[in-house]
Amino acid sequence: MSRVRHVAIVGAIAVFGAVGCTAEAGTGGSAPTPAATPTASPMAGREDITVRLNPDRVIEGETSTVWILANCPVPTGGPEHSGTGNSDAFVRAVTLEPVPPPTSKASPTSTAAPEAVPWVRGDARVPRGTDKGTYNVDVKCEGTNDTGRAKLRVAAEPSVVPTKAPRAGGGGTAAAAEDTGVPMGVTGLALVLALAGGIGVAVVRRRRS
């Protein structure tokens, strides 16, 4: 083998070795592990707010006013503290306004604004044509989207029952007895005594004559 050919073979082997080392260095590291996607935890459901009605029972056939009091939290960050009440028994939806905070008696001259109370209220009208039954009254707090429900009952109109039934027969005597409040037994006894007295007087007069 000539010297030139030997040098060429050795050079080729050196080149292939360098390329192999470079490839191994580029692929020898482990692949990066992808970041885990965080799982959003579901929000815990809010409890229904307290809703009170006054009265919670009205009579069918009457136009009634029902007051609604709802425990709406005071919102933070600017939303208006108010609510809305709605029911199939109402003429229309009702806007619930904040309940005024109590005034402090300890320092009447204080300039600090009183703390708001978490209650809203309003009045609704139930028309006289509302059918009897139980109706849902749903309230939504506009500032926090809290909701609550109460039940309104529309009861049947009570029927009028006479306290004393009229008596049959008796003519004018019975009517007089009813008007004066004198029992029929007493009236009849008085008539019998009167007749007996009249007959006795007639017999005595006849004997004297």
Instruction: Count each helix (H run) and each strand (E run) in the chain, helices first.
Output: 3, 8
Residue 59, both tokens = 């009579």
Q: Which residues contact 182 (CB under 8 A, 6 or more apart)?
A: 176
What band does 30 get if pLDDT is binned at 50, 70 and 90?
very low
Mean pLDDT, to the nearest integer, of 12-39? Answer: 44
CA distance 187 to 121: 64
Residue 168's pLDDT is what? 58
pLDDT at 82: 95
Do 131 and 154 touch, CB atoms closer than 8 A? yes
Q: What pLDDT is recorded for position 26?
A: 46
- Which of 127, 138, 139, 135 has its CA nearest to residue 152? 135
How many other C-beta atoms are found inside a 10 Å radius of the C-beta of residue 79?
13
pLDDT at 107 > cutoff 90: no
pLDDT reading at 114 higher than 60 = yes
pLDDT at 188 over 50: yes
CA angle 177/182/186 to nearest 5° reads 100
pLDDT score of 69? 97
- Mean pLDDT value across residues 118-129: 96
DSSP code at position 16:
H
State the pTM of this model. Answer: 0.54
Residue 52 CA to residue 150 CA, distance in Å, equals 7
Is the Cβ–Cβ distance between 167 and 178 less than 8 Å? yes
Using the predicted structure, report yes or no on whether residue 132 has a pLDDT greater than 70.
Answer: yes
Q: Which residue has the higher pLDDT, 74 or 201?
A: 74
Question: Which domains, from first to last, does the chain contain?
Answer: 51-102+115-155 (2.60.40.10)
Residue-averaged pLDDT of the chain: 72
